[in-house]
């Protein structure tokens, strides 16, 4: 019995040592290869950096079970390298077949710098997490609040503004959650966020949202450019519905609009906006 215990102890120690060694190796590669800003690199430097990062990823893939907790700890401890956090989160998603580390991915995405990563990758991660029931409101807020943020959907060859891209995320939330998040950005966000959140809130076209926007516009508490944008949207959407609005009720159209976005695609967002036109026309008619 004693001999068996010693063998088991040695085997356990060996596994722990192996995992520890892998973590140490990953930490060394992280120090050597990360800590940079992608948009500061030229084409040649980007190619070289990509080869370096492949070494980190390839090592991580040799033992996913040991790698995942290492990546979790590195992400949670990192506060100065947003690119590493998002890249490591993408690596986690490729390794975490049981989806046990989604909260870590969410934490990493919150730390991301949208000026240093591709908008499509960020939107894909946020959309995926939203489908998994995670609270993606901070990710939507980051998208709306980043000046110049946009998302180019490669397969669909369409470049989305932050406003249009955020629709995919807010559509995954309950109406109240979306409203609450947008209200908070309008009240406390930076100028970019305030404008974008007000425009998105108008697109949502809810009683609570419209009431707030009307109040803010009446009290001149929205920027003139934001007010003009909202009024133009209201006119464009409500006067150009594709269907007859007398045969459908508001909630039917709202539910159909929610269900129309099934993937990140130009078809989904175009159908969403088409139904928004119908929704706004119905609401205008019923006032």
pTM of the entire predicted model: 0.89
Q: What is the pLDDT of residue 229?
A: 97
Task: List alpha helices for the chain, DSSP H.
Answer: 2-33, 43-61, 64-77, 82-95, 102-111, 119-131, 137-145, 162-170, 175-188, 191-204, 207-218, 224-239, 250-260, 266-286
- Are 143 and 170 contacting, i.e. CB atoms less than 8 angstroms apart? no
pLDDT in tens, the chain (287 residues): 444 444 444 444 444 444 458 999 999 999 999 999 999 999 999 999 999 999 999 999 999 999 999 999 999 999 999 999 999 999 999 999 999 999 999 999 999 999 999 999 999 999 999 999 999 999 999 999 999 999 999 998 899 999 999 999 999 999 999 999 999 999 999 999 999 999 999 999 999 999 999 999 999 999 999 999 999 999 998 876 666 545 689 999 999 999 999 999 999 999 999 999 999 999 988 87
Q: What is the pLDDT of residue 247?
A: 66
| Count of CA atoms in the C-beta half-sphere (13 A) of 74 | 29
Q: What is the pLDDT of residue 245?
A: 47
Which of 78, 90, 161, 179 lies closest to 129, judged by CA?
90
Q: What is the pLDDT of residue 246?
A: 56
């Amino acid at each position: 019995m004693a001999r068996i215990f010693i063998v088991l102890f040695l085997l356990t120690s060996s596994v722990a040592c192996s995992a520890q060694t892998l973590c140490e190796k990953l930490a060394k590669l992280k120090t050597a290869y990360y800590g940079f800003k992608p948009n500061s690199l030229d084409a040649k430097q980007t190619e070289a950096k990509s080869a370096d990062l492949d070494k980190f990823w390839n090592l991580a893939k040799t033992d996913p079970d040991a790698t995942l907790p290492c990546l979790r700890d590195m992400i949670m401890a990192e506060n100065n390298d947003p690119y590493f956090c998002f890249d490591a989160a993408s690596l986690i998603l490729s390794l975490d077949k049981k989806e046990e580390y989604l909260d870590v991915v969410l934490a990493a995405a919150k730390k991301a710098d949208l000026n240093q990563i591709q908008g499509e990758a960020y939107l894909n991660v946020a959309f995926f997490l939203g489908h998994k029931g995670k609270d993606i409101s901070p990710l939507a807020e980051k998208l709306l609040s980043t000046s110049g943020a946009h998302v180019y959907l490669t397969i669909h060859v369409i470049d989305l503004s932050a406003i249009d891209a955020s629709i995919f995320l807010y559509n995954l939330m309950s109406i109240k959650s979306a409203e609450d998040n947008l209200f908070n950005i309008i009240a406390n966000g930076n100028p970019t966020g305030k404008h974008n959140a007000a425009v998105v809130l108008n697109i949502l076209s809810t009683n609570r949202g419209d009431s707030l926007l009307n109040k803010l516009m009446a009290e001149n508490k929205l920027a003139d450019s934001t007010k003009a944008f909202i009024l133009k949207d209201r006119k464009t959407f409500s006067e150009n519905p594709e269907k007859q609005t007398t045969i459908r009720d508001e909630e039917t159209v709202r539910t159909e609009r929610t269900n129309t976005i099934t993937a990140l695609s130009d078809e989904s967002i175009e159908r969403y906006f088409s139904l928004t036109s119908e929704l706004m026309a119905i609401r205008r008619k019923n006032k």
